Amino acid sequence: MNLRLHIWRQAGPNDTGMLKTYDVANVSEHMSFLEMLDVLNEDLIAKGEIPVAFDHDCREGICGTCGMVINGRPHGPVARTTACQLHMRTFKDGDEIYIEPWRAKAFPVLRDLVVDRGSFDRIIQTGGFVSVNTGNAQDGNAIPISKPDADRAMDAAACIGCGACVAACPNSSAMLFTAAKVGHLASLPQGQAERSSRAMNMVLQMDAEGFGSCTNHYECEAACPKGISAEFIAQMNRDFISTTFGGKA
């Protein structure tokens, strides 16, 4: 199939950037979206032009590295799918595709479709962990965890930190990401000791990074390639408020 792409090109963080139009011919329907961009880049390199920069790593939908807004939707039109797992059979011959980077103050564009998601790392650094004193590794199954708790923790832990929630949110809010991390550890006994300070610190760091706040549109939930539920946001809200009023989360 032949496609017309409108891709955001930006030489660096301080460049203003603009959409540029490219025609790609002979795209196979079996290609992934990133492979289609690889073909475009090969073509650009052959012509002596600068290839389109985009993030990618595992290309099997589990690492959270790739991410771009495809036709107005993070990771493209297919639900619960990362850009690398989006296949060109979703599109048809003659389609025009708009490809833009995640847009958020807290995710500055580094180049073309690559954004700096260091703000997510800094949120994790303020509480997205369980402190463990050094020593021998604990015996497996030493702490019994019920199946519903384990399932719930796993549902939240499925977050790959790709940032699609921020990209989809009209307010560029990182609530779903942060709530998934808070909710993951809050579901497990190991996470209880630091539960209150974790919710408080991660929420305040989210503000400090310049993310917006949640207005409960649930665009994040719909865009999340891992289907994380907005219920974790409600749980984080509750942990934060009970900590604020002196209780334990």
Partner 1 sequence: MKAFGDIWRSNLFQKWLMAVSGLLLVLFLLGHLSGNLLVFLGREQINEYAHGLRTMGHGMIIWVVRLGLLSFFVLHVTSAITLARRNRAARPAKYHRVESRASTLASRTMLYSGLLLLSYVLYHLAHFTWGAVHSEYYAQACPPSAGCVDCIPDVYSMIVSSFQQPLISITYLLSMIMVGLHLNHAIASAVQTLGVTNRRIVPVMRILGPGLSIIIALGFSSVPLAIILGFVKI
Residues at the contact surface with partner 1, assessed by CB under 8 A:
6, 19, 69, 71-73, 77, 98, 100, 103-106, 109, 168, 170-173, 200, 203-204, 206-207, 210-219, 221-223, 230-231, 233-241, 244
Q: DSSP code of 210?
A: T
Instruction: Please say which residue, 43 or 192, places its beta carbon nearer to partner 1.
Output: 192
Query: Closest separation between CB of residue 13 and partner 1, Å?
Result: 12
Instruction: Please say which residue, 59 or 81, places its beta carbon nearer to partner 1.
Output: 81
Query: Closest separation between CB of residue 221 and partner 1, Å?
Result: 7
- Token pair 């990074």 in the structure block, residue: 209
Query: Closest separation between CB of residue 71 and partner 1, Å?
Result: 6
Distance (Å, rounded) from C-alpha 12 to C-alpha 170?
25
Instruction: Please say which residue, 38 or 221, places its beta carbon nearer to partner 1.
Output: 221
Dihedral (CA of 57, 176, 121, 185) sign: negative
Q: At what angle do helices 147-157 and 175-186 cross, to 10 degrees?
A: 150
Distance (Å, rounded) from C-alpha 154 to C-alpha 172?
25
Strand stretches in the chain, DSSP E: 3-9, 18-24, 69-70, 73-74, 96-100, 109-111, 114-115
Query: Closest separation between CB of residue 141 and partner 1, Å?
Result: 28
Distance (Å, rounded) from C-alpha 58 to C-alpha 66?
9
Query: Closest separation between CB of residue 242 and partner 1, Å?
Result: 8
Query: Closest separation between CB of residue 25 and partner 1, Å?
Result: 23
Instruction: Please say which residue, 13 or 189, places its beta carbon nearer to partner 1.
Output: 13
Distance (Å, rounded) from C-alpha 35 to C-alpha 169?
27
Q: What token pair was written down for 46?
A: 């052959």
Distance (Å, rounded) from C-alpha 22 to C-alpha 41?
11
User: Using an 8 Å Cβ cutoff, are 193 and 48 in contact?
Assistant: no
Instruction: Please say which residue, 59 or 242, places its beta carbon nearer to partner 1.
Output: 242
Instruction: Please say which residue, 45 or 241, places its beta carbon nearer to partner 1.
Output: 241
